[in-house]
Amino acid sequence: MPARAYLLYTPALRSSHLERLRPLADLRLELLAGGRHRDLDRALLADPPVPVTFAEGAALDAVVAARRPAVLEVTEPLWAPEWATSVRLAAVARAAHPAVVVAGYAIETLVPDGPPPPVAGVLDAVVHGSDATRVLYERCYGAGALGAATVLEERRGRCARCFPDPVATAPARREVAFVAEFGDRKGIDLLLDAWPEVAAPGWRLRLLGYGPRTAEVLAWASGRGDVDVEVRAGRAAVHDALRRAAVVVLPSRRVPGWREQAGLSLVEGLAHGCRLVTTTETGLAAGLAAAGHDVVRPGSASALAEGLRRALAAAPSAKALPPADEDSRMAATRWIATRATGTGAA
């Protein structure tokens, strides 16, 4: 029997990995990480929900071989810089345990500039985090090329950290939260242009992030009494902002080599019951629009302002929270586990 039934590899461990995987201990899950993402709250490592091992190169290969996993989850093929590592880990896992199921969780939305990385014989199963991702993969590889496949649109269940009790609603303050990089790809410049056209009595804008436009954000906010800026905010501040906010805004736009996949602050905003204002660049755009969120064209401050005005006008004083178990990442992990056993337990 494999020492660890399910190994999940990520090049960089994020806070969201640890927060979302806590309910999956029954799968004998272990996280393998090549490093630490800049947003990782290291306090979470003091009591991780599942074992975490940091390793790279030959040391990483040795861990995979020693664990003899029933399931190995690797990075998605269209994350081209990491695909060579995925192929190598798949070979190591199959040598140690020939019956291993090698799987991926796919959320990419950007059409590659050149030929996509080869996938033949590497993956046995894939979960797409949005229908936009499924369409892209079928365009790149054809239907069925990645083995068994399903679509589980990226979403979070109710945030257990902020709402530990099984409540259906939570109070919302008249606050709009932006939690992302202060850079062009996340549209912070558009938000700075749009907010003065939107600002309504009693509403505040809370900006959490850092990046190439940090100095500009701070200078802009210094002249406004309705804006708060927190540079390099920790996870506690992020949760506080989302717990209080009625609206989360993420005006992503495409830049060379990058397109918004889902948008972590959008997914986390849903977990906190927030109304969302975003653009058609996220892979979740169709589903969010159908659910009544405000999805506008990218790159337009005027379109963003109009979306924000609608959101502020419609935002209730009490937010509706999703059920605790509506987490697509948990559902994806369990679906992948069924590929190994057919019963849902790896």
**pLDDT tens profile 42-88:** 899 998 989 999 999 999 999 999 999 999 999 999 999 999 999 99
**Amino acid 108: pLDDT:** 96
Residues 6+ apart with CB under 8 A from 35: 11, 12, 13, 54, 56
**pLDDT tens profile 196-214:** 999 789 999 999 999 999 9
**Amino acid 344: pLDDT:** 43
| 295-316 CB burial, b ≥16 within 10 A, e <16 | bbebbbbebbbbbbbbbbeebe
**Amino acid 63: pLDDT:** 97
**pLDDT tens profile 144-167:** 899 999 999 999 999 999 999 988
pTM of the predicted protein model? 0.93
How many other β-carbons are positioned within 10 Å of the β-carbon of residue 196?
Answer: 12
CA-angle at 196, arms to 311 and 310, nearest 5°: 15
The full set of domains in the chain, from first to last, is 6-155+327-341 (3.40.50.2000), 169-320 (3.40.50.2000)
**Amino acid 346: pLDDT:** 42
* Nearest-angstrom CA–CA distance, 124 and 66: 21
Q: Give the residues of the chain that fall short of pLDDT 70.
A: 1-3, 342-346
**Amino acid 200: pLDDT:** 86
CA atoms within 13 Å, Cβ hemisphere of 115: 3
**Amino acid 322: pLDDT:** 94
SS3 content of the chain, % helix, strand, coil (to 5): 40, 20, 40
CA 250 remoteness from chain centre: 13
**Amino acid 342: pLDDT:** 66
- Kindly tell me the number of DSSP H helices and DSSP E strands found in the chain: 11, 15
